Amino acid sequence: MKVTLERNHLLKSLGHVHRVVERRTTYPILSNVLINAHDGQLELRATDLDIEITESVPAMVGVAGTTTVPAHTLYEIVRKLSDGAEVNLETDGTNEQMTITSGRSNFNLTCLAPDGFPDLKSGDFSHKFTLKAGALKNLIDCTQFAISTEETRYYLNGIFFHTMSDDSGVILRAVATDGHRLARAETAAPQGSEGMPSIIVPRKTVAEVQKLLGDDDQDVVIELSDSKIRFELGGVVLLSKLIEGTYPNYEGVIPKDNDKRLAVDRNALKQAVDRVSTIASDRGGKAVKLGLSEGLLELSVTNPDHGTAREELPIEFEHEGFEIGFNARYLLDIIEQVHSEQAIFMFSDSGSPTIVLSEDESDRALYILMPMRV
């Protein structure tokens, strides 16, 4: 194999594919990136057996060929080469080593035979549709923070996507929960998604797709089946296994009779929670108490080891006062997702889940936060 290409093009593609490669693996071939030079392009492919990312980059191919080399090492070498430099990749007749030259720099990397590189077979997809990158990004951004990291409840380790009908028509809905908070976002269902199977996209896949998303107007082609999902965007193809399992009935935990409405300046609340939680104890779950009364919100934290903190905020609240406690980090995560000037809280009582919304009715995201004892 003998290939010449521009350093920045190679670096960008390696940056996309090398992230999926695990630093530690029991299979040496999984530490490598598959390089296939043919027809004026260099195709790069990497996998961890659950996710596979493929991207092609323009190149001058002198001799076609295929090999695999350590992904992270190759990425670091190319990253440290001069901006705009020309890079030459060449393997010897035995295909046991790849020589990388650029200017006066020269590297030799050990290759592994491409025959042993795994291929994540895509199989047949039942549905195919196109979604704007901005819409997909919004679904992910609104819900990703609530994905559970608890491995025992593996079916919560991703975002649940499904289509459903409501008053506005067919919608594509994304949901994530870790049992302490729940996030739900939705967009108009794109043509071709109707009747798609309900799927759970793994946390790592969600993170990789999020990094690949570019301009909001970019088209993302999505194909899926019961067991796999495929994203194609900007020349990059990401194929991933889905989480097998049944997602819990999240509708059952969304309160139906929370009628105590509180409206508060979103930025002021975010800053106040951040300030008072400085005192909060990790042992106590970073608890912050909200004291609600007509027109006034009092945030307070008590830590037996460090002291107390208290701050007041003006609010719109016209109900009988009460106190409720939340995990400060969970509360901040949700406030971060509210992009309107005011955040809307809908309460029932101090022991029931709270709904958080944007004041902008066009933003249909909904958040549920479980209270904690303080």
pLDDT per residue as tens digits for the range 88-126: 999 987 888 999 999 999 999 999 999 999 988 878 899
3-class SS string, 224-272: ECCCEEEEEECCEEEEEECCCCCCCCHHHHCCCCCCEEEEEEHHHHHHH
Domain covering 255-369, topology: DNA Polymerase III; Chain A, domain 2 (3.10.150)
- 158-166 and 199-202: which strand pairing? antiparallel
Please give the Cα distance from 19 to 46 (Å, whole number): 9
pLDDT per residue as tens digits for the range 45-59: 999 999 999 999 999
Please give the Cα distance from 302 to 276 (Å, whole number): 9
Read off the tokens for 331.
């509360």
Angle formed at CA 147 by CA 145 and CA 150, multiple of 5 degrees: 130
Phi then psi dihedrals of residue 166, to 5 deg: -140, -165
Q: What is the CATH number assigned to the segment(s) 2-110? A: 3.10.150.10
Q: Do domains 2-110 and 127-252 have the same CATH topology?
A: yes
**E strand intervals along 124-259:** 127-132, 158-166, 169-177, 181-188, 199-202, 219-224, 228-233, 236-241
* CA dihedral over 282, 283, 285, 291, signed as positive or negative: negative
CATH C-level class of 127-252: alpha beta
Please give the Cα distance from 211 to 329 (Å, whole number): 24
| Angle between helix 7-17 and 71-80 (nearest 10) | 150
pLDDT of residue 284: 57
DSSP 8-state code for residue 316: B
pLDDT (tens digit, 0 to 9) for every residue of the chain, 374 residues total? 999 999 999 999 999 999 999 888 889 999 999 999 999 999 999 999 999 999 999 999 999 999 999 999 999 999 999 999 999 999 987 888 999 999 999 999 999 999 999 988 878 899 999 999 999 999 999 999 999 999 899 999 999 999 999 887 899 999 999 999 999 999 999 999 999 999 999 999 999 999 999 888 999 999 999 999 999 998 899 999 999 999 999 999 999 999 999 999 999 999 999 999 999 877 656 899 999 999 999 999 988 888 999 999 999 999 999 999 999 999 999 999 999 999 999 999 999 999 999 998 888 899 999 999 87
pLDDT of residue 282: 75
* CA dihedral over 192, 194, 197, 200, signed as positive or negative: positive
pLDDT of residue 100: 96
The answer to whether the beta carbons of residues 41 and 57 sit under 8 Å apart is: yes
Please give the Cα distance from 289 to 278 (Å, whole number): 13
**CB within 8 Å of 75: residues ≥ 6 apart:** 11, 14, 15, 18
Tell me if residue 252 falls in helix, strand or coil.
Answer: helix
End-to-end C-alpha distance for the chain, whole angstroms: 66
Segments making up each domain of the chain, as ranges: 2-110, 127-252, 255-369
Q: How many CB atoms lie within 10 A of CB 40?
A: 10
Angle formed at CA 260 by CA 255 and CA 266, multiple of 5 degrees: 95
| Category of 306 on φ-ψ map: left (φ > 0), alpha (ψ -120 to 50) or beta | alpha
pLDDT of residue 11: 96
- 86-91 and 307-314: which strand pairing? unpaired
**E strand intervals along 77-126:** 86-91, 97-102, 105-110
Phi then psi dihedrals of residue 234, to 5 deg: 55, 35
